[in-house]
Chain A
């Protein structure tokens, strides 16, 4: 609840300016123009314009929300004004740009951008249309603030679904193409060929579908619950198994539906997911902030490379020694080496906490990278040129029919299931409790009898093992290793996955990997702005959903129980109420 009440006019001015500033930034960055290559609704609205719509709608919404004690009409007016003021900034840009060439400073300030912003018109007509556009969108945002919560959520989900479907149109098309019946449906909804995005009718359909389902989600969920209750307890276990079995079958058939490109994307996502599950143990369970996680990934990859490469000898680009092991022989050794590295890292950092631990682990990651890059070790591990001709898993007859992507898909799928299984078992065990107690309060954990040394080392070792496993398979999949692939950014990316997914939550980190790695692979337009969007998503997550996309079940259960708890008969009035120790 804001303590001060600013006038509607000031609110509009403030939020309109910020919104205008954001729109200006994104335009001058080139994002608006780049995104406009693709339409969300074919021929109607491009992704770039949709971005502007999103901005002004959000700010119009915020403005109306800030003026919570004004009349509805005033609130809509505030939203409208906010949007118009925002557009004013863009009008200003266009007017300025037509008289002064801004390109020496802002390379993206091109005539094409201006044409885009002016919706293809020129002169006063264009400016009026721009302002009206801003005003209308701002008003829509304000209207959204006034809508009752349930309808509002439905609308937002519907719009998000339309946006995502429009962006991922070709992915959806490819996937649905494998099922004959669904192709017809796809054609009705999605545009084809040169055009991108959804057909207008399709957009309406998607919006209504998701909107209505969201609106009735409450009753739907109750219905599902009732359905679950209807199944007698003895059958429930079987039914659960059946559903999981079905999911597994779908996952097994996915490469056929996806085709080679998407299968390849899935493989990358799964490699990061395995790493995220491992880092989740270190950071999420044990609370040890490890910023050098990529080191273990690298060690797994390099061990696999040295042990299996056939490029051994005295020529350029070859290393001097290599035992020519097979993939399967080298894999356990690679994991073992990573575990060893994990323990070696753990020992010097046993007494460090928080920031100090983070910096030292970061240093460790860099040490490994620099060693890989060094000329001193070049004869043994390839230096800056890396190593090539790395071993491939041999599965005999079974593998003969599979393509390379499919082979690695099934391998990674099995590995992902394995590490998730291990992580789940560890979480619900004595070891898991030791980690969590240490995370919560290291001194008290020690005071209840937990040995910190072994607890920390086991956490590092477990995380390292999973990263090493992912690294070894990664090296084999790519066929070569270069030190440049194992930099600090990888550690940070995996950490971001853990945080965005939900620290300590295993389904969360898999979801995080999907969102943070799957989506960028699929949205090629964003590739230049990938880290910008990444950063924006991280900030937004921390502001609005710090517990992550899919928080630990306990946290959600806690929210659930807060609704259900009743006072116990023997509780008397406590002076303080709920404690916050």
Chain B
């Protein structure tokens, strides 16, 4: 059962067609990677899914809900969370506050509750804090909750961003290059972590990645984009051998194998 489908999605910026005629089906509870050379349109597509861009054509559906035209916060509340290629945390807020901000759609209290701190509000805040601490533990950042997000080391920031995304209790998690800037060991840890997310929490993962070890290692399906068009789709083993894919990455006539 596909949890996310896109049909003929088109995104243009003036004369440049960033994404054209893009069809995608993401199976529920799967780990699905989208790969392609830089500028292929991967992040642009993510932005269309989350509502940051409005596609010129086509439709995107999450669990039956039509997404195109909805505001980003509405789409998030339908069950999608994401991380970013260049980490975008709330820099001057602490790690715990970042996660608490991610929990916002699930909280109820408003201005009145804030000022008067009724027992209901206090209970909700306590529960939210517990949940935030739990998520902090889950991403291995225990004890760093009160540090400002901008003072965390790079790897911790990546994990915090994932924790913030998880705080929204998403059905679908979009990860945009989660292992960028990491060394071999960190990458291996992140890969295992992503698998854990799916296995333990039942979240569907849609992944943009450049590191082929990650892509081939954990994906069930791989979709390849080049110049905004889908040029291949299938299990990792097939993609590895696909000549069009190799050509897209390494140029015409290259005999190099991927990984």
Contact = CB atoms under 8 A, between A and B. Distances in A.
Interface of A: 422, 425-426, 429-434, 436-437, 440-441, 443-452, 458, 462, 554-555, 557-558, 561-562, 565, 568, 570-572, 574-581
A449 B104 contact: yes
Contacts of B94: 554
Interface string B133-155: 00000001001001110111111
A448 B104 contact: yes
Nearest to B113: A429
Given A440-B93, A445-B101, A578-B154, A430 B73 contact: no
A444 B168 CA distance: 13
Given A425-B115, A425-B117, A558-B148, A437 B73 contact: no
A462 B83 CA distance: 32
Contact of A446 (B72, B84, B151): B72
20 contacts: A430-B104, A430-B113, A432-B114, A433-B93, A433-B104, A437-B104, A440-B90, A443-B72, A444-B90, A447-B72, A448-B81, A448-B168, A554-B148, A558-B148, A558-B151, A561-B147, A561-B151, A568-B143, A574-B183, A578-B152
B93 A578 contact: no
The 7 closest A-B pairs by CB, nearest first: A429-B114, A579-B154, A449-B105, A581-B87, A440-B90, A449-B76, A437-B101
A97 to B, nearest CB: 53
Given A447-B52, A449-B168, A558-B151, A433 B101 contact: yes
Contacts of A565: 147
Contact of A430 (B89, B109, B148, B156): B109
Interface in B211-244: none
Nearest to B97: A433
B136 to A, nearest CB: 13
Contact of A574 (B73, B102, B155, B165): B155
A426 B71 contact: no
Contacts of B152: 578-579
A440 B150 CA distance: 11
B259 interface: no
B216 to A, nearest CB: 23
Contacts of B167: 448
B125 interface: yes
A4 B140 CA distance: 46
Interface string B184-202: 0110000000000000000
A564 to B, nearest CB: 11
A574 B153 contact: yes
B110 A431 contact: yes
Main secondary structure of the interface of A (DSSP, over half): helix
Q: Which of A444, A446, A557, A571 has the most CB of B within 10 A?
A: A444
Contact of A572 (B105, B114, B115, B185): B185
B73 A449 contact: yes
B87 A448 contact: no
B123 interface: no
A557 B88 contact: no
Nearest to A434: B104
B151 A430 contact: no
A447 B76 contact: yes
Contacts of A557: 146
A576 B154 contact: yes
A581 B183 contact: no
A574 B84 CA distance: 20
B92 interface: yes
Nearest to B147: A561
Contact of B76 (A430, A440, A448, A577): A448
Contacts of B254: none
B111 interface: yes
Given A433-B100, A437-B90, A581-B87, A447 B73 contact: yes
Contacts of A430: 100, 104, 107, 109-110, 113-114, 125, 128
A423 to B, nearest CB: 10
A575 B181 contact: yes
A437 B154 contact: no
